[in-house]
Amino acid sequence: MFRQSKKRVSMRRNFGTEEVDVIQGSTEDERALYQRIYENKLSFYDVAPKGEITLEEFETWAIDRVKLLLEIESCLARNKTLAETEGIIKPLFKKFNIFNNMDNFEDRKKEYYSHFILRLCFCRSKELRDKFVRIETTLFRMRFNMLTSSDQTKFVKSLQLPSLQFIEEAEKETIATQLYQTISKDLQFNLNLADEQQRQLYFKNEKFIKLPFENVIELVGNRQVYLKDGYAYLPQFQQLNLIANEFSTKLQDELIKTYQYLPRLNEDDRLIPILNHLSSGYTIADAGSFDQFGNNQDNEINAKSVWSEDISKHYPLDVKNLFYGLKENAHLRYHGRQQLTLFLKGIGLSIDEAMKFWHDAFTRNNKMSTERFNKEYRYNIRHNYGLEGNRINYKPWDYRTILSKPRPNRGEYHGLPFRDWNRDKLTNELSKMGLTNQQITDVLDSCDRHEYTIALTKVFEMTHNVPENESMHITHPNLYFERSRQLEKKMKEMKEQKN
C-alpha cells in the first residue's frame, strides 16, 4: 500500500547524512542517545529521536502504542483508580511489546519513536491534543509508580526542575508539627501506615519540597499540603503530582509546536495516510485477534447454528438487532447486510454456509424466490468473501467503521444501538439483559458523552462478570463474540477442575 521496502527505505536519509544501516537498526550515536535517555528508565521526551526506521516500523509501533492508550482511556472513562488502571494495563506491556524490557535497545527505540509518531497524529486539534496529553500523563504516572524508590529519586534529580527544591532539615524542624498534622491522614489511608509509631518514623525520614502554592493547586484544595507565606510544603511521596503537571505542560507545548511544523509533511505521500488513519482513532483494540477470528472447528458455525442460543448468546447488541430485523422482515437493507455478512464471516461462517444462511432467511415463507435471490444478492455475498470483482478479502467492520456509516432509517437495523436507540428502548433492552438501575444509568451516561464503545464495554463487563485484571476495551463486534466465548470456556474449565 505504501510501496515501502527495507531497500527503498535505506536509500532515504531523513534524519541526517551519516550512513545508517536500517536492517541492523542503529548507529553508535543512536545507541548512545537511548542509553542516555533511559539511564533513569523514564523520560520527558525532551530530545527528538535519532536514526532511521522502516515505514512498517513507523506504522506498527504507532498502532501498538495507540492500542495501549485506548485501554488507558477506557479505564479513565470508567473512573478506575490509578492502581486499578495499572493492574489492567501492566500485562498489556508484554502483549503489545512496549515498555516490556526497557533495558533492551530495540524496546527503548520503539517506545521513544512511538511517542513522537503519535505527536504527529494527535497534534491536529485541541480536542486531540488534550486527549493525548491526558492519557500520556496517566501512563507517565503509572510508569513512575512502577519504579523503585531509588530510581524515582534518581529520575527526579535528573529533571533539575527549579520547583523541585527540598527544604533543609532546620526549616523542617520549625514547622514539624504543622507538617505532620497535614500529611498524617495521607500516611494512614494512602500509604497504609496504621500505627502511629510507623507514621512518626516515616515522617522523620520524609523530605519536603517548598514551592509556590499555585503549582499544586489541586492539593491545596484537598488540604493535602501545608501552606505558609504563599508557599506549599509538599511531601516527597506527593511529588508525582508536581512532576506529572510539569510533564503535561511540556507535552502540551510540544504538541502545539509540532502542529506548526506539520505542513512540511504534506508532500510526503508515505506518511500522511498512516497519520490520518491513526488520528481518526485506530480502534481495533486487538488487531492481532483477527488471527483467531474465523476459527470454526468441526463446522460449529454454520447456517443453522448461528441462530441457536449457544452461539447467539455471545452476540453483541448490534448483531442481535440485525438478527431481529432479519427474522422479522426476512430481509435486511444494504448496510445491514454488509455489517452482518462480514461479522458472520469473521466468526467462521464459510461462503457456502453464508449463501445457505442468506438464501434461507430471504426465501422464508416464500417472501422471495430463489431465482431473485441469486440474481440480486448472490454476487454481493461472494464479493464480500473476496470471490468476485477485485477479489478483496474484506475484514469484519469494527465499531469505528460501523459508526462512520449513515444512521439507520425506519426499517433499517445496522449501526450501534448505544448511539441509535432512544433512552427508553435502550433502557428496556439493558433491563432484559439483567443490568441493575445503577448499571443502566452508568451505561446511559457514557452514551450521553458519545462514548459508545465505552458503554458497550461496560455492558460486556457487567453481563460477563469480567475479573478486574482481564478488563479490555471492546471496539469490535467480533472481539466481543470471541471474548464472550473464551470467558464461557474458562468458566467451564474451572467448574470441571472443582468437580
Euclidean distance between CA atoms 377 and 359, whole angstroms: 9
pLDDT, tens digit (0-9, with 9 covering 90-100), for 452-493: 999 999 999 999 988 766 677 888 999 999 999 988 988 888
The torsion angles phi and psi of 15, rounded to 5 degrees, stand at: -120, 15
pLDDT tens by residue, 161-200: 776 778 888 999 999 999 998 888 888 777 778 788 888 8
In 3D space, the residue among 101, 113, 95, 147 whose CA is nearest the CA of residue 45 turns out to be 113
34-53 per-position pLDDT tens digit: 888 888 788 899 888 888 88
Mean pLDDT of 344-365: 94
21: alpha, beta or left, given left = phi > 0 and alpha = psi -120 to 50? beta
Q: Residue 439 belongs to what H/E stretch?
A: helix 437-448
- Phi, psi (deg, nearest 5) at residue 166: -85, 140
At residue 242, the pLDDT reads: 83
Nearest to 343 by CA among 418, 403, 399, 304: 399
Which of 52-61, 153-162, 202-211, 303-312 is modeled with the greatest confidence?
303-312
The residue with cell 435502550 is 426
Q: Mean pLDDT, to the nearest integer, of 22-34?
A: 65
Helix, strand or coil for residue 235? strand
Percentage of the chain beyond pLDDT 70 is 88
Within 10 Å of residue 487's Cβ, how many Cβ atoms? 17
| Nearest CA among 322, 362, 312, 328 for reference residue 342 | 322
Grid coordinates of 246:
510539569
User: Which residue did the predictor score with more confidence, 329 or 284?
Assistant: 329
Identify the burial level of 288 via C-beta atoms within 10 angstroms of its C-beta, where 0-12 means exposed, 13-18 middle and 19 or more buried.
exposed
* Orientation of helix 55-77 relative to helix 82-95, angle to 10°: 150
Q: Which residue matches cell numbers 470483482?
A: 389
H/E element holding 231?
Answer: strand 231-235
Tens of pLDDT, residues 130-146: 989 999 999 999 999 88
> With contact defined as beta carbons under 8 Å apart, do 323 and 357 qualify?
no
The percent helix, strand, coil of the chain (3-state, each to 5) is: 65, 5, 30
Residue 282: is its pLDDT beyond 70? no
Distance (Å, rounded) from C-alpha 215 to C-alpha 223? 14
- Interval 287-298: pLDDT, tens: 334 444 555 656
Please, where are the H alpha helices in 96-165?
Answer: 105-122, 126-146, 149-159
Q: What torsion, rounded to 10 degrees, do the Cα atoms 356, 360, 366, 372 define?
A: -40
The rounded mean pLDDT for the chain is: 84
Predicted confidence (pLDDT) per residue in 90-148, tens digit = 888 888 888 877 778 888 889 999 999 999 988 888 888 998 999 999 999 999 988 88
Q: Mind spelling out the 3-state secondary structure of 18-72?
A: CCCCCCCCCCHHHHHHHHHHHHHCCCCCCCCCCCCCCHHHHHHHHHHHHHHHHHH
Nearest to 78 by CA among 439, 499, 485, 496: 439
Per-residue pLDDT for 344 more than 50? yes
Give the per-residue pLDDT at 175. 92
**Residue type for 247, please?**
F
Distance of CA 422 to the CA centre of its chain: 27
Q: What is the pLDDT of residue 291?
A: 42
With 0.85 as the threshold, say if the pTM is over it: no
**Which residues on neighbouring strands pair with residue 212, listed in sequence order?**
231
Instruction: Return the higher-pLDDT residue of 88 and 363.
Output: 363
Beta strands in 331-477 (DSSP E): none
Sign of the torsion formed by the C-alpha atoms of 314, 318, 324 and 330: negative
Q: How far apart are CA 176 and CA 180, in angstroms?
A: 6
